[in-house]
Amino acid sequence: MTEQLEQFLTLTIKATQQDLDIILSCFKLEMVKKNDILLNDNETCKHVFFVSSGSIRAFFIDEKGNEATRYIAFENEFITILNSFITQTKSKEFLQATENGQILAISYDDFRQLLYILPIWKDLYIKQLEIAYTTNAWRLESFIKMDAKERFDYLFETNPRVIQRLSNKIVANYLGITQESLSRLKGKK
């Protein structure tokens, strides 16, 4: 099931077959079911996941028990709790499967080893860090500059699979609105 990751890598970085073989050998296939928790808060994030099928979300739970989804990864995307993964300290976030699917996991040790032995892996890492930074910057800006309708409209235009494939609860907490507000916004589309 590493064919999808191999195709992604081939399109993303210039790698030899030998490089690809080394990279792919570090990933382990995992089957996940909807609502499976891949990482709890107060655990150290020891893996980066590549989504082959399905989706995974990163989210917080505040002191009142409210969830806030920070990021959702679909097919051909990576996800981890980056600050916990980099520093190998306890996470304040959860990782959860939002659909049944298949993921490929690479451990912290294997990830770091690839950085030392394969310059193309470092190139991929930089590209993924840039994606993470721009995504987080947009999320912050959207909460400051956009109202709920504008955030919904933007999501509908740029990433409709979030709205189409995930529950209203997850979509609403991703947008930072109530489920009732989300239902009203969906009704106007």
| 1-60 pLDDT tens trace | 689 999 999 989 988 999 999 999 999 999 999 999 999 999 999 999 999 999 999 999
- Same domain, yes or no, for 94 and 9? yes
d(CA 179, CA 189): 16
Q: Going by C-beta distance under 8 Å and a sequence separation of 6 or more, which residues neighbour residue 143? A: 151, 176
**Structural domain count, the chain:** 2
Residue 105 tokens, joined? 């996991």
- Among the candidates 129, 155, 174, a domain finishes at 129
- pLDDT computed for residue 41 by the predictor: 94
Q: Are 3 and 50 in contact (CB under 8 A)?
A: no
Reported as type and span, the H/E element at residue 119 is: helix 119-145
CATH assignment at residue 19: 2.60.120.10
pTM: 0.93
pLDDT tens-digit map of 151-162 = 999 999 989 999
Residue 72 C-alpha from the chain's centroid: 5
**Structural domain span for residue 178:** 146-189
